[in-house]
């Protein structure tokens, strides 16, 4: 096992074959000292009294989704603009990429508006 620590946390890595043993050992030590235990595999926090917190929030934040959606729309606009200014031999592919960018933008904005 390898250890990384500071006054506010301890990070412990171990081989997969010893994961259950290490988890039980660390959980017992955390309870003994009144500390919370975060397990990144299950994304759960276990407190010293045995109660568990909810799972960690996953996904992107609202601001990140809006920025990503805006860039996707910008790229879609650039694809369409470049095709209109300098037509290529395969306009269908350019418009297909623009359409995919629009779909990505819709997915990002939908995520942001939840």
Task: Look at residue 94 in the predicted model and tell me its pLDDT.
Answer: 94
Residue 37: closest CA among 10, 57, 15, 3: 10
What global pTM score does this model have?
A: 0.49
Measured CA distances, 104 to 24, 72, 100 (Å): 43, 6, 6
Task: Look at residue 75 in the predicted model and tell me its pLDDT.
Answer: 96
Walk along the chain (114 residues) and give the pLDDT tens digit of each residue.
Answer: 567 878 777 787 888 888 888 888 888 888 888 888 888 777 788 888 878 876 556 667 888 889 999 999 999 999 999 999 999 998 999 999 999 999 999 999 998 887
């Amino acid at each position: 096992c390898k250890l990384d620590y500071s006054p506010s946390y301890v990070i412990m890595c171990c081989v997969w074959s010893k994961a259950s043993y290490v988890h039980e050992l660390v959980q017992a030590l955390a309870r003994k000292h009144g500390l919370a235990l975060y397990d990144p595999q299950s994304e759960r926090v276990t407190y010293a009294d045995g109660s568990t917190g909810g799972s960690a929030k996953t996904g992107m934040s609202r601001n990140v989704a809006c920025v990503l959606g805006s860039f996707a729309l910008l790229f879609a606009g650039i694809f369409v603009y470049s095709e209109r200014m300098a037509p290529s031999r395969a306009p269908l592919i350019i418009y297909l990429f623009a359409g995919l960018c629009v779909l990505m933008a819709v997915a990002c904005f939908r995520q942001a508006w939840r």
